[in-house]
C-alpha cells in the first residue's frame, strides 16, 4: 500500500504558525549577523532563507511524496503507519479509483493506494467493521465520487 498525506486546512494553519516563528528567528539571526558587516549580512540572509525556507519545503514535499504504509485499527482510530504514525479517526472514505481511496479524519487526510481492488475492498470492509452503524447515523460515510466500483 502507498500512503500520501493530503493537505488540509489544519495542516496549512500549522505550517503558517511554524513559518511565522521560523521567520522571526531568522530575522533575529539576520539582525545579529548583520552587525558583523557585509559578510555577516550575507551569512544572515543565508541563515534566514535556510531557517525559514528549508522546514517549509520539507513539509510541502512531504505531502507530495508517496511512501509505503500499513493500516492498523486500534480501538476507535485507524493508524496509518508510514514515516509518521498518526492516528486517524475516520469520518469519510472517498473513492478516487478502483485502487485509490482518501481516508479523511478530523484535520488530517491520507490518500491510500492499493495494488489491487480486492485488497482495497478488504481494507474498507475492515474499517467499516471497526466503525459500525446504520447508514443514517453512521459515524463513517463511504462515498464513491469519481467512479462506480464494480463489486
Task: Give the closest residue to 78 by CA, choosing from 102, 49, 43.
Answer: 102
Span 47-98, pLDDT tens digits: 888 888 888 887 777 777 777 777 777 776 677 776 666 667 777 788 888 8
Round to whole Å and give the CA distance between 2 and 60. Answer: 18
What are the sequence ranges of the domains in the chain? Answer: 2-64, 69-144
The whole model's pTM is what?
A: 0.58
The SS3 assignment for 5 reads strand
Round to whole Å and give the CA distance between 100 and 28. Answer: 45
**CATH number among 3.40.50, 2.60.40, 2.30.29, 2.60.120, domain 69-144:** 2.30.29
Span 9-61, pLDDT tens digits: 777 888 888 889 988 988 998 899 889 899 989 998 998 888 888 888 877 77
39 by Cβ neighbours in 10 Å (0-12 / 13-18 / 19+) ranks as exposed
The SS3 assignment for 47 reads helix
The grid coordinates listed for 62 are 512531504
The SS3 assignment for 77 reads strand
Sign of CA dihedral 117, 119, 122, 128: negative
Residue 86's pLDDT is what?
66
Amino acid at each position: 500500500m502507498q500512503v500520501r498525506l493530503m493537505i488540509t486546512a489544519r495542516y496549512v494553519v500549522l505550517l503558517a504558525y511554524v513559518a511565522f516563528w521560523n521567520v522571526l528567528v531568522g530575522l533575529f539571526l539576520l539582525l545579529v549577523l548583520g552587525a558583523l558587516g557585509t559578510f555577516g549580512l550575507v551569512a544572515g540572509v543565508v541563515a534566514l532563507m535556510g531557517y525559514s525556507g528549508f522546514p517549509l519545503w520539507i513539509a510541502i514535499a512531504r505531502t507530495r511524496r508517496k511512501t509505503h504504509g500499513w493500516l492498523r485499527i486500534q480501538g476507535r482510530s485507524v493508524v496509518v503507519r508510514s514515516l509518521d504514525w498518526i492516528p486517524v479517526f475516520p469520518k469519510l472514505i472517498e473513492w478516487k479509483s478502483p485502487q485509490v481511496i482518501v481516508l479523511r479524519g478530523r484535520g488530517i487526510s491520507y490518500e491510500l493506494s492499493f495494488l489491487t481492488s480486492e485488497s482495497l475492498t478488504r481494507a474498507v470492509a475492515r474499517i467499516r467493521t471497526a466503525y459500525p452503524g446504520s447508514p443514517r447515523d453512521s459515524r463513517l460515510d463511504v462515498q464513491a465520487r469519481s467512479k462506480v466500483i464494480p463489486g
